[in-house]
Amino acid sequence: MAMHCFWIGAAGGCLAAGSVGFADASFVDHVVSYTPGTGVGGYTNPDAALGKPGDDTGFGLLTPFNPHFSTDELARIGGGGELTLRFANEVLVGPGLDIGIYTNVFLINNQGGTGANNPAASFGGDSVSVQVSANGTDWAAVDTSTTPFDLPHTFYLNPEALTASASSPPAIPIEADFGKPFDATLSDFDGLTFDQIASLLNGSAGGTWLDLSPTGLDAVSYIRFDNPGDTFELDAVSIANHKIGPAVPEPASLSLVLVLLATTTPRRAYRPSN
């Protein structure tokens, strides 16, 4: 595997006085191309999938039971559509889970409103084709044939902030880490209380995480979502903290670097043969 210089996102620390949380993870931060496809309604703003999800859905806190739903928080890819995004940093591909995909999936409350249903059920899980690239030109498919994208995510980990009715941040909010991989299935939520959901998340914001190592790439800078069927709603895409590489240069900056290298590389003097 090729060697890369990289930095590792901090795993903890205080974000602000009176709060406990994690340093910001690294996300996709640039739209390369977008074709809405069919059935997208008003969800035609691809920028909505960039950066870190906010803690407010407009109808209470972002929780496993209350996802984002507004047009400024979700990018929708309809039938026949595609969305290509660039990461802020390289994804250093290696063993284990590399990137997190966050959609508008949510858990269904049990009848008592005390946690997840048993068996756990979610609403909004969809399928989508995913490709990744190191250079934005050559693409490798990610096998998502058995990935239902049916796992929710949250902004806070306090049990009282995981409910469907949570409306404001806790007095001492514990922020979830969007850079910590979440290795679970929907059935792991079967009948869990809010406290148990917090334990299952174990510091992570949740979401569906993908292992990119089968692609054979050492590093990834771009991701593409192709939707051959129903609509797919994307909230965000993050990088595992320990897989965050150097910043991905802007295409114009990369071209300038190549030009500078070409004009400053020493040339061997021409000497005519005898």
Q: pLDDT truncated to tens, each residue of the chain (274 aa)?
A: 333 332 333 333 333 334 444 557 999 999 999 999 999 999 999 999 999 999 999 999 999 999 999 999 999 999 999 999 999 999 999 999 999 999 999 999 998 899 999 999 988 878 899 999 999 999 999 999 889 899 999 999 999 999 999 999 999 999 999 999 999 999 999 999 999 999 999 999 999 999 999 999 999 999 999 987 788 999 999 999 999 999 999 876 444 444 444 444 443 433 444 4
| Sole residue written with tokens 């020493």 | 266
| Sole residue written with tokens 């965050």 | 244
In angstroms, rounded to a whole number, what is the distance separating the alpha carbons of residues 121 and 105?
Answer: 10
Tokens in use for 201? 């998340």
In DSSP terms, which residues pair with 99 in a beta bridge? 210, 239
Q: What is the CA radius of gyration of the chain?
A: 21
In eight-state DSSP terms, residue 260 is: H
Round to the nearest angstrom and report the end-to-end CA distance of the chain: 45
Say if residues 84 and 270 touch (Cβ distance below 8 Å). Answer: no
CA 204, 60, 171, 162 dihedral sign is: negative
Q: What is the pLDDT of residue 229?
A: 75
In angstroms, rounded to a whole number, what is the distance separating the alpha carbons of residues 232 and 237?
Answer: 14
- SS3 assignment for 87-132: EEEEEECCCCCCEEEEECCEECECCCCCEECCCCCEECCCCCEEEE
Per-domain residue ranges of the chain:
26-264
For residue 260, the number of C-alpha atoms closer than 13 Å in the C-beta half-sphere is: 6
- Phi, psi at residue 87, to the nearest 5°? -75, 150
**Angle value at C-alpha 155, between 193 and 97, nearest 5 degrees:** 90
User: Count of CB atoms within 10 A of residue 71's CB?
Assistant: 15
Say if residues 177 and 100 touch (Cβ distance below 8 Å). Answer: no
In angstroms, rounded to a whole number, what is the distance separating the alpha carbons of residues 115 and 120?
Answer: 10
DSSP reduced 3-state for 153: strand
Q: What is the pLDDT of residue 149?
A: 93
Tokens in use for 179? 């850079």
